[in-house]
Amino acid sequence: MIDPFGRTVSYLRVSVTDRCDFRCVYCMAEDMTFLPKADVLSLEELDRLCSAFIRKGVRKLRLTGGEPLVRRNVMQLIRSLGRHLDSGALDELTLTTNGSQLHRFADDLAAAGVRRINVSVDTLDPDRFRRLTRWGDLEQVLTGLQAAKKAGLAVKINAVALKRENEGEIDDLVRWCGEEGFDLCLIETMPLGEIDADRTDQYLPLSLVRARLAHRWTLQESDYRTGGPARYVSVAETGRRIGFITPMTHNFCESCNRVRVTCTGTLYMCLGQEDAADLRGPLRAGDDDSLLDAAIEEAIARKPKGHDFVIDRRRTQPAVRRHMSTTGG
């Protein structure tokens, strides 16, 4: 699949549920209304959809959410998708998780062919963790991370940089990741969906974080790329990498290789734009995949050049109305 700007689309991110057992303050409002079950794709439909994209050239598949591991019987889907790894059609099957259920699933994930996972941990302070996630328990996540390590899964920690919250703790995250053998990816808050807080109060530019880290650590430029938006440095003292995802301070769209599907089968060709294509209709129209294939092709031909996020006090609306948990982070 090649888009109008010559970019090959080889990476699909699929949100398997909009539900989550956390309510991170920058991601969701506390009283979220979730989708009715009938709107959400079944596990079989998700499998069919992912398989269609793989047939069309997707080599990397990431399951996300909401929280992917709270979807009932999600392991059934993951095991089934593992067949594409066995056949060689897929290079990587991975997921982004908050880690709350990893203690239950780490071994099963490894057995299904998952090799790396991203786990979101914004802070190592239990009280702050509870405040930021509203409902999360840090201890449970740390137990899950040990289970992941034991199962042989490579872990990348995702942390959203938040002014006055984990701002003073980024150093500790770097040290901890070094000790645990995890890579770290720092993310700027993006203006996605209505939340209860003011995003201008949360936004912390990573250019500043990086400059501060450079006082304490030897950051070596790295040309390591995962095909994603992160720019990496190596930390000489720990031997681990730090990625910086800077949608607000750096436009990373020129090498975009990805599209996203929500749990209702809506295909978003860009995280930061509203244009979308419905794939649930074509999926549910029958067992034949020709309508689905045509809808995917038609949508890829409309993939936009990029997003234009702005966090600005004069702007009271988020840049994009849907939450990250809808499109999948």
| Binding-site ranges for ligand SAM (CB under 6 A) | 20, 24, 26-27, 64-65, 67, 96-98, 120, 158, 160, 187, 189-190, 192, 324-325, 329
Among residues 97 and 234, whose Cβ is nearest to ligand SAM? Answer: 97
Q: How far apart are CA 264 and CA 242, in angstroms?
A: 33
SS3 2: strand
Strands 183-188 and 154-161: parallel
Conformation bin of residue 6: beta by default, left when phi > 0, alpha when psi is -120 to 50: left
Among residues 14 and 192, whose Cβ is nearest to ligand SAM? Answer: 192
Nearest distance in Å: CB 62, ligand SAM:
10
Nearest distance in Å: CB 40, ligand SAM:
15
Among residues 147 and 300, whose Cβ is nearest to ligand SAM? Answer: 147
Q: Where are the beta strands (DSSP E) in 121-195?
A: 154-161, 183-188
Nearest distance in Å: CB 34, ligand SAM:
14
Among residues 16 and 296, whose Cβ is nearest to ligand SAM? Answer: 16
Among residues 187 and 267, whose Cβ is nearest to ligand SAM? Answer: 187
One-letter amino acid of 259: V
Q: How far apart are CA 314 and CA 275, in angstroms?
A: 24
Residues 6+ apart with CB under 8 A from 157: 118, 119, 120, 121, 173, 177, 182, 183, 184, 185
Nearest distance in Å: CB 187, ligand SAM:
5
Nearest distance in Å: CB 234, ligand SAM:
22
Among residues 51 and 325, whose Cβ is nearest to ligand SAM? Answer: 325
DSSP state of 42: P
Nearest distance in Å: CB 295, ligand SAM:
25
Nearest distance in Å: CB 98, ligand SAM:
3
C-alpha dihedral, 232 to 184 to 82 to 74, nearest 10°: -140
Q: How far apart are CA 114 and CA 53, in angstroms?
A: 18
Q: How far apart are CA 317 and CA 313, in angstroms?
A: 10
- Nearest to ligand SAM by Cβ — which residue? 329
Strand partners, 261: 14, 267
Among residues 189 and 257, whose Cβ is nearest to ligand SAM? Answer: 189
How many CB atoms within 10 Å of residue 60? Answer: 19
User: Measuring CA to CA, which residue among 276, 287, 300 is closest to residue 44?
Assistant: 287
Among residues 113 and 329, whose Cβ is nearest to ligand SAM? Answer: 329
Nearest distance in Å: CB 289, ligand SAM:
28
Structure tokens at 183: 């890579």
Q: How far apart are CA 96 and CA 230, in angstroms?
A: 15
